[in-house]
Structure 1
Amino acid sequence: MKGYAAAAAAPPGKRRWRCLAVAVLALVFCSLLVPLAVLLGLHHNRFPSGYLTDDHSASEFSFGVYEHLDGGRKHSSSQGDGSRIDDLVKKLAPTFAKDLTTNIASQSDGNEYEKNGRFTSDNVQASVPPKGAVYKNNTAHYKNRDTQQVVSREASSLNTKSDGIDWKENVTEGSAGDESGKSCQLLFGSYCLWSLEHKEVMKDSTVKRLKDQLFVARAYYPSIAKLQGQEKLTYELKQHIQEHERMLSEAISDADLLPVVDKKIQRMDEIIAKAKSCAVDCHNIDKKLRQLVDLTEDEAHFHMKQSAFLYHLGVQTMHKSLHCLSMRLTVEYFKSSSVDMELPDADKLENPNFHHYVIFSLNVLAASVTINSTVMNSEESENLIFHLVTDRQNFYACKHWFVRNRYKEATVHVLNFDDLKTEHLNNLGIQQLSPSEEFRVSIRNTARQSPMLMRTEYISVFGHSHFLLADIFSNLNKVVVLDDDVLVKKDLSFLWNLDLQGKVIGAVQYCRVRLRQLGAYLGGLKHDANSCAWMSGLNVVDLEKWRDRKVTEVYHGLHRKFHNGSEASWRAATLPTTFLAFQDLIYPLQNSLVQSGLGHNYGVTHGALKNAAALHYNGNMKPWLELGIPKYKKYWKKYLTREEQFMSGCNVNP
């Protein structure tokens, strides 16, 4: 019985031992699983800064905001901090509802072309033209449009005049381009030009030097510690690693470092040189140093993405002071007597004997500078009639501004585009004011001295509203069309005696871009390949010849070919319709008449600025923005109406 009892009592003890063994195994498994999960989580989140030891490709940090186009395939967006910015972009996208980003065409030649500027989450594709890529952006409130991007597949022609512009900027692009030859401007637009000019001297360079030395020393230490006879070097390397760690734990900037830091850096360089002279297995060292390069590139890419976003946000959103000015003027208009709003010189508005200027604008401050500069440099201001065409949102502000502010004897007539009744308005589907459009054109570079495959040019063309000129001003024979980012420096009265030799429009040609380089975007329609592109900004228009040549009807036919029903394609179609509608109808004005590029080019010479009759601030860096180019802003600010009380009340100080 005793033996039986002992035998019966044995199994519970064994069972308890087995339970304990299973519990221990489970604990060991969990202790291994938790660190592994943490490491995988860090690898997935991709911290944007700091020296991490995970291995990954820099290509993972792709630009989700600047969507890639490669044969119609979309590339995935970045993870971690990159996705946070993408989420922010998507939240901001509804505020730019009127400013759709358009991609015309889905075919590329193996390169990845990225959007410039407007950060919207949707990529609306149109059906024409069949090749290339066009990226379109407009602002809803005032003329400060980011440029459309056109990537040309044709070889470029460099046999043109520089027009006072230092074209070294195209070579400068190479410093910011990638190894495939794509320039920084192709990827980020005019942000690259702005960032190069505003590059600051590196701060806290000593702290960064300490971090770099520490990373290299840590990379070599495990391999040196395994070598026989290198105990002294191992000890010194370990000692200096600890000293660097201690200094970096107490210092955030160079000012926090002790005076002996230079000696520490020099000594660490000597020890690292000794470590490099030893025969070690280079695999681990190479792996860790590659991690340093990858992390540095990823961090730079991430911060460039952030900076480009903030730049374009500042360029394309209305400054609160300008919004305040427009709202204050609108409120004041309705407080004023309607009698005071009547135009005293109404009989001049349709008299063809006066000099009539037309401005399409959504920015009262910009339009006022254009008008003021024209009047101040005119010998006979009483002959000047300005027709300012704006939309309903800005109509009352503009009207009240020009009642409060007189410019010598000139007459300013403000028209509400939304109230215009013209023959072609409904047929063309133009439901909102469309001022001149700006394009950023990337062309294959054939210059042997240039290391880049692409060069970037900026052009501006008529908007859709310009094709209603003959209808809006049916009683006039000739007008001069000005953009609101144009500053007039000389008397323009000679333009009224200019013989256009049977042509419809006089414009400054831009032969750095020819139609053969834009052939893919002209819908396969017949065109003169050697014709130069031309610029809006300052244009003489013969309305009689316009009506005889039926330019509006020609435009209407082209509009049907390039417009597929969406607002995005309607806006982007201004490039082909403008060049094709005025084909063989352009009278070339002297290149020195208008100096363009002041909204993107830092290299315009002083002589070109002095000799030009007008300055055109085409580009993103408009003079009324804080991001405007300082050395050109002084010319524009000279014609601001400083005594206006609403200017000081709204803190308008460009």
Structure 2
Amino acid sequence: MKDSIVKRLKDQLFVARAYYPSIAKLEGMEKLSQEMKQSIQEHEHILSEAICDADLPKLHGVNMAKMAKTIAAAKSSPTECTTFEKKLRQLLDMTEDEAHFHARQGAYLYRLGVQTLPKTLHCLSMRLTVDYFKSFADMEHSDTQKLENPVLQHYVIFSTNLLASSMTVNSTVINSEESANMVFHVITDAQNFFAFKNWFIRNSYKDATVNVLNFEDFQATHFDNRRVEHLSPSEEFRITYRSNTRKRDTGMRTEYISVFGHSLFLLPELFSNLKRVIVLEDDTIVQRDLSLIWNLDLEGKVIGAVQSCRVRLWHLKPYLVEFPYDASSCIWMSGVSVIDLSKWREHDVTGVHNQVLQKLQHGTEASWRAAVLPAGLLAFQNLVHPIEAQWIQSGLGHDYGVNHGAIKKAGILHYNGNMKPWLELGIPRYRKYWKRYLPRDDPFMIDCNVNP
């Protein structure tokens, strides 16, 4: 422990403070009282400047020995146990209150760090937006004929994170055997649209085509009923449940489940001329060619995805209470999904999603977000074809125990969880697999000091 001595100093200070009021009241104990007061002040001064043992002054051992001698003398004095106990309880209550305060503050700061866009990425987006209007405002896409060609492989990314989505595109293209037949549709909101467009104009991805779309433009021109007014990409939910092991001390387990946001249920209308797409989330890195996923036989199902049977629908019973469902069904993860849009339209998955949504959301943003999980799972009930679990290694955003061998063998890495690789909170030992696709020489990244 890097702070073991600091902890011992704090323990001594704690005990000394408990004894001091009683010693100060005793007649003939003025010398001991003065020595104890001085030792308390010295300990307070040391601890005000020391967090770990390396911060301690060279003579801290002398102070510890002096305090130990003073406490021993106090213990041998005729102090009243009730007075000492009362003071000790007061100090304990104060310490517990302080611990609770710091725990709440730590949780708040952690949540803030997870949900807030780093200032370097905000700088990158703003500078690219300004530069777009200086350089590329009138430029049109040159590969429009590819965008609606159903013969090509079409990949869809819903994201407001420029760097993350570009890393997903870059890793997919680099590890592909043939990039000329790959078309990426990157869908973002109006705030980030021009930054995305500038970035993908400036950067090339072999022979792949990248098309940036403004979701809000689609809403204005295609959808009169305004079902989903703002972009809502895939979302994650933290599920804590009791492990069903046979051991006596069954502990609690936590899983991060990623499911389609409301915007993704407009896929058949957004891409009316396409028959099949692969949806990638922006917290994924591709390490193998995805042609096998693209050509996967879904056997009449709507979607192909990795299932996680550690969590079944009965674990989510409080959220699904009003709807019929198979309690033993495994949940599925939306990190990488291959979708048959023809089957989607045939089963009217969007209609089922809207029916569930109407019952669950009550006009508030909180109910709208809370409805993502049950609506996403129920809409695809019995319509999911499992992809082999070896294809995708998940948990890299929350699980410290993932084996490096499993990471190297996986075709896709999914950084689901709060500790995303572009955040300072990201798990360092997994970040290197993400950073290998980072463009180091981009001038905008250098100017904004983007170096996750």
Matches of 2:207 and 2:184 in 1, distance apart?
11
Equivalent in the alignment of 1:241: 36
Q: Which runs of 5 or more structure 1 residues have no equivalent in the other structure?
A: 1-198
Contact 1:423 1:471 in 2 (8 A): no
Structure with higher Rg: it is 1
Matches of 2:382 and 2:221 in 1, distance apart?
25
Equivalent in the alignment of 2:93: 294
2:103 aligned with 1:304: yes
1:504 aligned to 302, 310, 321, which one? 302
Matches of 1:642 and 1:425 in 2, distance apart?
40
2:194 aligned with 1:401: no
Runs of 4+ off more than 6 Å: none
Change beyond 3 A, Cα 1:407–1:217: same
User: Where do residues 200-349 of structure 1 align in structure 2 (5 Å cutoff)?
Assistant: 201=3, 204-205=6-7, 207-218=9-20, 221=23, 225=26, 237-238=32-33, 240-245=35-40, 247-248=42-43, 251=46, 252-253=48-49, 254-255=56-57, 257=59, 259-272=61-74, 274=76, 281-338=80-137, 341-349=139-147
Matches of 1:591 and 1:360 in 2, distance apart?
23
Contact 1:623 1:629 in 2 (8 A): yes
| TM-score in terms of structure 1 length | 0.64
User: Where do residues 523-602 of structure 1 align in structure 2 (5 Å cutoff)?
Assistant: 523-602=321-400
Shift of 1:596: 1.3
2:282 aligned with 1:487: no
Equivalent in the alignment of 2:241: 443
Matches of 2:363 and 2:404 in 1, distance apart?
46
Contact 1:329 1:396 in 2 (8 A): yes
SS in 2 for 1:407: coil
Matches of 2:243 and 2:426 in 1, distance apart?
28
Contact 1:600 1:618 in 2 (8 A): yes
RMSD: 2.6
Contact 2:176 2:290 in 1 (8 A): yes
Equivalent in the alignment of 2:53: none
Matches of 2:369 and 2:222 in 1, distance apart?
17
Matches of 1:487 and 1:562 in 2, distance apart?
33
Render the CA deviation track for 1:563-615: whole Å, top value 9, x for unaligned. Answer: 22223212221111011100000111111211111112212111221111111
Shift of 1:515: 0.6
- Percent of aligned positions with the same letter in both sequences? 53
Q: Which runs of 5 or more structure 2 residues have no equivalent in the other structure?
A: 50-55
| TM-score in terms of structure 2 length | 0.91
Matches of 2:162 and 2:388 in 1, distance apart?
29
Change beyond 3 A, Cα 1:256–1:354: same
Equivalent in the alignment of 1:163: none
Equivalent in the alignment of 1:363: 161
Amino acid at match of 1:264: K
Change beyond 3 A, Cα 1:363–1:526: same
User: Where do residues 192-203 of structure 1 align in structure 2 (5 Å cutoff)?
Assistant: 201=3
1:607 aligned to 380, 405, 409, which one? 405
Count of residues in correspondence between the two structures: 445
SS in 1 for 2:199: helix
Change beyond 3 A, Cα 1:369–1:298: same
SS in 1 for 2:386: strand
Matches of 1:376 and 1:395 in 2, distance apart?
24
Contact 2:176 2:288 in 1 (8 A): yes
Change beyond 3 A, Cα 1:450–1:627: farther
SS in 2 for 1:420: helix
